[in-house]
Structure 1
Amino acid sequence: MTPLGPLLLLGFISGHLTLTRSAKILTVVLVGGSHYLLFDEISHILHESGHNVSMLVQLGNPRIKGVNYTGRNNSYRVISWSANEEYISSFNSWFLEQQKSFFEGSESLSTFLKFMGHLALQCELILGDTSLMDSLTAEQFDIVLIDAFNPCSFLVAEKLRARFLAVHVSNFWSWYLAGLPSPISYVPAARSMLSDRMGFWERLKNSAMFLGSWLTERMLYSQFDHTIRKCFPPGSQPVLSELYLKAELSIYNTDFTLDFPRPLLPNVVYVGGLLSKPARPLPQDLEDIILTAGDEGFIVVTFGSMLASVNLPVVLEQINAAFSQLPQLVIWRHLHTHWPSGVLPAQNVKLVDWLPQNDLLGHPKTRLLVTHGGLNSLMEAVYHGVPVIGIPLFGDQFDNMVRAEAKGFGLTVQVNQLQALGNAMATVIEDKRYKASALTLSHIHRSHPFPPRQRLVQWVDHIVQHGGRHLRPFGLDQPWYQQYLLDIILFSLAIVSLAVYIVTHLLKFAVGYLCSGGKLKVA
C-alpha cells in the first residue's frame, strides 16, 4: 500500500460515518391497517440502520386485528395518542358500517368526505393537545416521515416546524400531492379503470377523469379548513396544497414492476416492496394443515388488515360457495368470532384469525392469492411470483387491480359479481400464463439494482445530510398559469390576432383601392 493508502482509507471511513450519522427521526401514522403496517416496517428499518426513531401513532382507530401481531419489540420508540373513549366507540361503529357497505358494493364520494371529516376532527384534537405538541417540539427531530394519505400528518409537521418527507402508501394516483408531471395521453387518472394503453375514447375519458379528480381533491381537503383556522394563528395558516409540495422528498410505496411507467421528478422516489421478504418457516400447526393439501396446493385469502371482521352472511356465503368448487385447500383469514353462525365453511376452507401472509405466499404449494387489491398484498404476490384474484372494495384497490390485469398475473372480480368468482379462480390456477407472468415480474422486481430497503435508508440519509432543496424543481414554485405557459399562449394569441387584424385591414384597403381605379375616395 502506498503512503497515501492509509490516509485515503481513513478519509473514506470518516466520510462514510459522517454520511450515516444517527439522526432523530419521527414517523407519523394516524390511521390504521396497511398504513400502520408500512410505517411499522419503515420505522424498524430506520432503527436498524442506526437512527433514533420514534413513531407517533393514534390509538383507537382500527389498526391490526389479529391475536398474533404485537408490532416490534426492542425497536423504535412509540409515542401514542388517543381520543376519548366515547368518540372512539362512535367512530369505530361508523367505520364498521362503512366496511360492510364496501362489501355490498356501495362505496361513494359522500362516504369518503365523511371519513375525511372524521380525520379533520381527530386532527383538531391532536393539534389542540398542547402537552403532546410541546413535547414533540422539544425533541427537535432532524426529520419527520409522514403518511401523505392523512392531511393531518402535514399539519403536525408544520406545527412542529420540522423538515419532513411524505410517504405515499398507494400507487401514483396521488400525483398532484407531489406535483408530478402526468401526461394525460398515457398516465391514467385515479379511478379511471384505464391502463397506459389508451385509444381515442379512453383518452377522452381520462381527460375528464383528470379534471374530476382535481375537483374531488379540492372537496376532500376542504374538510380541514376549519381545523387549520382553529389550530393555526391568523397570518401563519398553512395551505394544504402548498404543504404537499413542501416535502423535501416524496416516497411512493409502489414499483414499476407493478405500476405503469411514467415521468418522475428528482425529489420523488419509489420503495414498493418493503414488506416483501424471503419466506420464513411456517408455524408447525399451519404446516401440518398445508400437508393435507397434497399436490393441489392451497389458496391464500385475505381482504386486508381491517376487513377480517365483517359479518355479512350473504357475501361470505357466496365467496365460501366459490371456494367449495375448487380442489385446493383454502386458508382464509377471518375472525372466528365474526363469522356468521348460519354459514358453514366449506370442507376445503380453513378459517384463521391471523396468517403470516408473506411466508404463506413464499410457500412452494401456494397456487393463488385472493385479495382486496391492497398494494402491499400485490407487491408481496409479485415478490413471490403468485398470481392473484382481486375483489377491490375501496380507494386505490380498483386501480391496483387494473395494473395486475395489465401485467398479466391476475383477474378482477367485482364484489357485485361474485357468482363469477369460482370460474375466475379456476382460470387463473389452470392457465399457466398467469403463473408465468407472476414469475417474470418476480424476477424483474428482485433484480432491481437496489432493493427497496436500501433505497429507503440511503435516500433518508441523503436528505438528513444535505436536505432536498437541490432536488426540488423550480416549477413547483411557479403559479399554475406560468407552469402551463398560459401567459405565453395568451400573449402569442394576442400577437397573432393583432397581426391578422392588421393584415386583414391592409388587404381590405388594397382591394378597395384597386376596385376604385386607384383613386382614393374622399369623404
Structure 2
Amino acid sequence: MRCYAVFVLSVLVASVCIGDSKSARILGLFNFNGRSHFVMFEALLKGLAARGHQVHVVGHFPQKNPVPNYTDISVEGSIPAVFNNFTVPGAVEFGKYDNVLRFVFQTSVDMCEILMEHPKLQELLHSNETYDLIITELFAVDCLIGFSHRFKAPFISMTSSVMLPWGNDRVGNSDHPAYTSNFFLPYTHHMTIGQRIINTVFTEILKLGHYMFAELPWDKLSKKYYGQDIPPLSELKKRTSLILVNSHFSLTNPRPTVPGVVEVGGLHIQHGGKLPEDLKNFLDKATEGVIYFSLGSLIMGETLPEDKFEIFTAVFSQLPQRSCGRQTEMSVCRTSEPLGGYHNSKY
C-alpha cells in the first residue's frame, strides 16, 4: 500500500514535467478549521487540479470562485471559527502549555465528532466513490484517516509546521532527542545536557499524551462511524505513505529525515501575482526596505493594548525602513516620516 501511494504521487509529480498523463481521483480531508493551515494544503490541491487530476476537498474554506477539477465538500460553519477570533490577552492565555495541549488532545476529539456527524461527511462515508489517493492533515487527532480504510486507498499526510513529535514514528523517522529539538521547546540542536534531558522527557510525555488523550478516545468513537472492523489509529497511521512538512532546513534546524518525509517549506508561495496599486507604490518607494508586523491569522490586531501599540509605533518611527502592521483585514502602513505617516489599505 505504501509503495503504491508513493508511485501514485510520483506519477502526479511527473505530470508537472510531462504535461499529459492519466488523471487521478484524489480526496483531501481537513478537519481543522485553521486558515493558516489550509493555505499550504490548498496550494497543493489546486496545483494538482490544474494539472488535470480530479480533486475533491472536505474542508472549511470552499473556493469563492469555481476552480476546474476542484470540487468542494464544504463543512464551513460546522465548527466555531478560529480565524481572526482571538484577542491578544486571550491568545496569551491560550498559548500556555496546558491550554494548547488540552486543545490538541481533547478539544480536537470533540471537533472531530461534530464533523463526522455532518450530513456531507455521512454522505461521503456511505457513498460508492473511489479514490486513488487520500490526503490528510497531520495535526491533532487523525480522525479522518479512517476514510483510507473505508475507500481502500493509500494516503499521505501534510503538516503546516515542522514535524510534530507524534508524527515521526508512523514513518520510522528519527527524532533522537539528543540533537532533534522538540517543536514545543525553545531549543536549537545545540543543547546542554540539562536541555537534552528536558527535551527527552517532554518529547516522550507529548507522545504518551497524544496516545492517551487523542488516539484512545477517538478509537472508542471511530467504530461508531467507520464500523466495527476499523483498525485502531495506532495501526492506521503506520500506513502513512508520505508526509509533506512545511519546513526547510535553511529556516529551521537541520533534521534527519527518511525518504517518507519531505520538506516542502514555501509550497504556498505564489508567483506572478499583482499587488494592489497603493501597496506596490508603498513598497517601490521603500529604498531602505519594509518591516511587516503581524500577529497571525488567529488574533485580532486591534485588541493589542494601546500602550503596547504605542511602543511599537514609537520604535518603528525611529527606523529608516517603512513598516506595515496587520489589523484584522486591514494593513496599517507607515512611511519613513515621524509618527503620523500612516495610511490604511485592505490587503
- TM-score clears 0.5: yes
Q: 1:155 to 1:189 in 2, by over 3 A?
A: same
Match of 1:439?
Answer: none
**1:40 and 1:72 in contact (8 A); partners too:** no
**2:325 and 2:331 in contact (8 A); partners too:** no
Per-residue deviation, 1:260: 2.7
Stretch deviating more after TM superposition (20-29 or 299-308):
299-308
**1:311 and 1:338 in contact (8 A); partners too:** no
State the Cα deviation string for residues 367-400 of structure 1 (Å, max 9, x = none): xxxxxxxxxxxxxxxxxxxxxxxxxxxxxxxxxx
Per-residue deviation, 1:337: 7.9
Amino acid at match of 1:21: K
**1:334 and 1:351 in contact (8 A); partners too:** no
Structure ID, larger Rg: 1
Match of 1:38?
Answer: 40
**1:146 and 1:154 in contact (8 A); partners too:** yes
1:166 aligns with 2:167: no
**Secondary structure of 1:198's aligned partner:** coil
Per-residue deviation, 1:272: 1.9
**Which of 163, 181, 188 is residue 195 of structure 1 equivalent to?**
188
**1:181 and 1:263 in contact (8 A); partners too:** yes
**2:57 and 2:72 in contact (8 A); partners too:** yes
Per-residue deviation, 1:250: 1.8
1:21 aligns with 2:25: no
Per-residue deviation, 1:83: 5.4
Stretch deviating more after TM superposition (117-126 or 248-257):
117-126
Per-residue deviation, 1:352: 3.9
**Which of 294, 298, 320 is residue 302 of structure 1 equivalent to?**
294
Stretch deviating more after TM superposition (325-334 or 309-318):
309-318
1:153 aligns with 2:144: yes
CA RMSD of aligned residues (A): 3.5
**Secondary structure of 1:165's aligned partner:** strand
1:227 aligns with 2:216: no
1:192 and 1:135 map into 2 onto residues whose CA distance is 39
1:100 and 1:297 map into 2 onto residues whose CA distance is 31
State the Cα deviation string for residues 306-333 of structure 1 (Å, max 9, x = none): 3345623244444334323323221222
Gapped regions of structure 1 (runs ≥ 5): 1-15, 64-68, 340-344, 355-523
**Secondary structure of 2:208's aligned partner:** helix
Q: Which has the higher contact order (CA 8 A, sep 6+)?
A: 2
Match of 1:209?
Answer: 202
1:172 and 1:131 map into 2 onto residues whose CA distance is 30
Gapped regions of structure 2 (runs ≥ 5): 1-16, 333-337
**1:186 and 1:197 in contact (8 A); partners too:** yes
1:138 aligns with 2:128: yes
1:126 aligns with 2:115: yes
**2:330 and 2:345 in contact (8 A); partners too:** no
2:315 and 2:65 map into 1 onto residues whose CA distance is 34
Per-residue deviation, 1:164: 1.0
**1:300 and 1:330 in contact (8 A); partners too:** yes
TM superposition score normalised by structure 2? 0.77
1:95 and 1:239 map into 2 onto residues whose CA distance is 35
TM superposition score normalised by structure 1? 0.53
Per-residue deviation, 1:128: 3.2
**1:116 and 1:220 in contact (8 A); partners too:** yes
Where is the helix percentage greater, Structure 1 or Structure 2? 1
Amino acid at match of 2:224: K
**1:178 and 1:245 in contact (8 A); partners too:** yes
Identical positions, percent: 24
Q: 1:245 to 1:185 in 2, by over 3 A?
A: same
**1:25 and 1:145 in contact (8 A); partners too:** yes
Amino acid at match of 1:228: S
Q: 1:223 to 1:350 in 2, by over 3 A?
A: farther
Q: How many equivalent residue pairs?
A: 319
**Which of 75, 80, 102 is residue 81 of structure 1 equivalent to?**
75
1:160 and 1:32 map into 2 onto residues whose CA distance is 26
1:323 and 1:292 map into 2 onto residues whose CA distance is 17
Q: 1:197 to 1:144 in 2, by over 3 A?
A: same
Q: 1:349 to 1:57 in 2, by over 3 A?
A: same
**Which of 37, 52, 55 is residue 53 of structure 1 equivalent to?**
55
1:303 and 1:185 map into 2 onto residues whose CA distance is 32
Per-residue deviation, 1:43: 0.7
1:272 aligns with 2:261: no
Q: 1:21 to 1:204 in 2, by over 3 A?
A: same
